[in-house]
């Protein structure tokens, strides 16, 4: 059983909601990435989504776009990202790490090569925003061969037939985008998103995590009432912008995440 599946099974057995923070590798500095990852794990992260900086992050809003630009200027390419995971694994062998990014950097290297390198570094899965499920078979096979989950995305505009397919083939967890738009937009409609999540969870074979628009403890708790877990990205990336060095960045990361962890742990989860 993979590290990610072990964590998901443990959450289910304990009746706990998953907390998944996203940070961009290489921002606010190259030296800060691994300390921030450790701080997030210490503050209660169940899975860490590590953003692979990309020049055209089409699903991301201004906050994450700027973080990718800054990271790329510092030299935070795919090799650096995998090196960060490798160093993180020296102290943390348990917290799953999922890379979140775009198809081009993977395609350049080839699905099999990238998957093997990622697995060797200690990665547990990958979310490729611009990989259509209809074209994912090669990538899914290469990732599965290396014990990696290829995380699928669904959104409010996903057609029913495709949604059914995503629910059936979801590996690890299904990432539900709570609104039609880019990350960081202040347009989360908890009621509408909650109705969609309830329907999807009834169909899905894997846990369903909600992302986009989750900014604080209140929004995390509200969405977790309808989801198996929540992903928080832009608000955390924004909070880290003020980190002057790796130590301060780690402190900021932990301080941001702990209230969300407390809010999720305070929810009454049906048996």
* 3-state DSSP assignment of residue 21: strand
pLDDT higher at 184 or 106: 106
Q: Is the pLDDT of residue 189 over 60?
A: yes
Q: Looking at residues 153-167, what average pLDDT do you find? A: 90
Give dist(CA 17, CA 11) in Å, integer: 7
pLDDT digits (tens, 9 = 90+) for 100-134: 999 999 999 999 999 999 999 999 999 999 998 88
User: Per the residue annotation, which of 46, 60, 124, 246 is the catalytic one?
Assistant: 60
| Region for residue 172 given its phi and psi (left: phi exceeds 0; alpha: psi -120 to 50; beta: otherwise) | left
Determine the Cα–Cα distance for residues 85 and 80; give it in Å rounded to an integer: 9
Judge whether 189 counts as a catalytic residue. Answer: no
**Is the separation of the CB atoms in 145 and 2 below 8 Å?**
no
Q: How confident is the model at residue 186 (pLDDT cuts 50, 70, 90)?
A: low
- Choosing from 9, 42, 46, 49, which is the catalytic residue? 49
State yes or no: pLDDT of 152 exceeds 80: yes
Q: Is a pLDDT exceeding 80 seen at residue 58?
A: no
> Per-residue pLDDT averaged across 203-223, rounded?
92
Name the average pLDDT for the chain. 92
Instruction: Return d(Cα 17, Cα 226) in angstroms, integer.
Output: 10
Is 60 assigned a catalytic role? Answer: yes
To the nearest whole percent, how much of the chain has pLDDT over 90? 79
């Amino acid at each position: 059983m993979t590290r990610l599946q072990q964590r998901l099974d443990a959450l289910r057995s304990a009746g706990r909601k998953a907390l998944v923070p996203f940070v961009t590798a290489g921002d606010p500095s190259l030296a800060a990435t691994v300390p921030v990852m450790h701080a997030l794990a210490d503050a209660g992260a169940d899975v860490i989504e590590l953003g692979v900086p990309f020049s055209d992050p089409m699903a991301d809003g201004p906050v994450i776009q700027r973080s990718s630009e800054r990271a790329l200027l510092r030299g935070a390419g795919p090799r650096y990202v995998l090196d960060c995971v490798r160093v993180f694994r020296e102290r943390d062998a348990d917290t799953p790490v999922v890379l979140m990014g775009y198809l081009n950097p993977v395609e350049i290297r080839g699905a099999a090569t990238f998957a093997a390198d990622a697995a060797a570094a200690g990665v547990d899965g990958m979310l490729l925003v611009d990989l259509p499920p209809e074209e994912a078979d090669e990538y899914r096979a290469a990732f599965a061969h290396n014990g990696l989950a290829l995380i699928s995305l669904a959104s409010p505009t996903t057609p029913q037939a495709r949604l059914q397919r995503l629910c059936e083939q979801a590996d690890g967890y299904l990432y539900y985008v709570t609104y039609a738009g880019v990350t960081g937009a202040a347009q989360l409609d908890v009621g509408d998103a909650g109705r969609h999540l309830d329907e999807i969870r009834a169909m899905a074979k894997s846990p369903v995590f909600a992302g986009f628009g989750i900014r604080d403890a209140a929004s995390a708790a509200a969405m977790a009432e309808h989801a198996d877990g929540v992903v928080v990205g832009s608000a955390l990336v924004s909070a880290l912008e003020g980190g002057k060095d790796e130590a301060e960045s780690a402190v900021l990361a932990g301080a941001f995440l702990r209230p969300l962890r407390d809010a999720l742990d305070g929810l009454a989860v049906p048996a």
